[in-house]
Amino acid sequence: MTLHPIDTGHFKLDGGAMFGVVPKSIWNRLNPADENNLCSWAMRCLLIEAGNRLMLVDTGMGDKQDAKFFGYYYRHGEGDLLGSIRKAGFSPDDVTDVLLTHLHFDHCGGAVCYGADRKLQQTFPRATYWSNEAHWAWATQPNAREKASFLKENILPIGESGQLKFWSSDSDAPFPNLNLLQVDGHTEKMMLPKLRYKDQTLVYLADLIPSVAHVPIPYVMGYDVRPLLTMEEKTRILTEAADEGHLLLFEHDPVYECATVEHTEKGIRVASKGQLKDFIGE
């Protein structure tokens, strides 16, 4: 198995929304805001190569929205989904599986693109797209709080393509050494990949813990639909990570790809942080 971090670019979100009840006097030291109170965040996906299978975890926000949309989110940086996949040595046709942790636009937007005829099509024509039945229903019949994050043009073409499959907790995993943790604090039944790699356990945290700065338990995003449940889920996953030495992979940290955590007098805190290759080698 080989792992490839995939840089799909950065975008900006309000710092207060990203840190919830944490005061700006604290979070601004962790991820400084610009003059509009916006902080820059990565959209970092993960490509997992194992035998004849190539799984992409999340797809970034894509580039098919209009200028008004990008005027809200300030997509920037040199990262590009397909460019990063090609840099890793692959083409879109090589991807066999696309695992969407959840269907918010910054996680699934790149899964669908415009074709030459300006019709929406799957970015990865030979891939199986994975969601789960509960989250799919949640996203396609969105609540008022999350409606702006569940965009029909990102989601419905996947369902219509014939490439969609649902992953259930009691089904056989379609990918070796990979399990899924389902969490409900951020949104209904978000899926976190947990995999064994070189005798180490890695957990891709999606939006449960979006960055190194969000490791302390009370640092919960204002976007979460059930923030108290997020705290319980963070406690469980971080405690296991500290006890067992798991490596945590961050989707949105603007600098660091991953970290380890440890128990301290102040609670669970970051022990070491860096890029994936610093922990597992090339």
**Residue 267: φ, ψ to 5°:** 110, -165
Q: What is the pLDDT of residue 106?
A: 97
User: CA 74 from chain center: how many Å?
Assistant: 18
Q: What is the pLDDT of residue 268?
A: 97
Q: What angle do CA 96, 99, 103 make, to 5 degrees?
A: 135
Q: Which of 222, 223, 247, 220 lies closest to 234, judged by CA?
A: 220
Q: What is the pLDDT of residue 171?
A: 63
Superfamily of structural domain 2-280: Ribonuclease Z/Hydroxyacylglutathione hydrolase-like (3.60.15.10)
- 258: Cβ contacts below 8 Å, ≥ 6 apart: 202, 247, 248, 249, 250, 273, 274, 275, 276, 279
* Secondary element (H or E) of residue 195: strand 190-197
pTM for the model stands at 0.94
pLDDT, block means (10 residues), the chain with 282 residues? 94 96 96 96 96 95 90 91 96 96 97 88 95 96 95 95 86 75 97 92 98 97 97 98 97 97 96 94 72
Coil, strand or helix: which one is 26? helix
Q: What is the pLDDT of residue 172?
A: 61
Q: Which of 173, 170, 164 lies closest to 196, judged by CA?
A: 173
Q: Can you tell me the distance from the alpha carbon of 46 to that of 5, in angstroms, rounded to the nearest whole number?
A: 5
Place of tokens 């009370």: 218
CB-based contact 100:131 (threshold 8 Å): yes
Q: What is the pLDDT of residue 170?
A: 59
How many Cβ atoms from other residues are within 10 Å of residue 87's Cβ? Answer: 12
Q: What is the pLDDT of residue 1?
A: 84
CB-based contact 243:217 (threshold 8 Å): no
> Which long-range contacts (C-beta less than 8 Å, at least 24 apart) are formed by 273-282?
273/212, 275/5, 276/3, 276/5, 276/249, 279/200, 279/247, 280/3, 280/197, 280/198, 280/200, 280/247, 281/198
Give helix 152-160 / helix 133-140 axis angle, nearest 10°. 130
Q: What angle do CA 259, 264, 265 make, to 5 degrees?
A: 155
Type of residue found at 231: M
Q: What is the pLDDT of residue 127?
A: 96
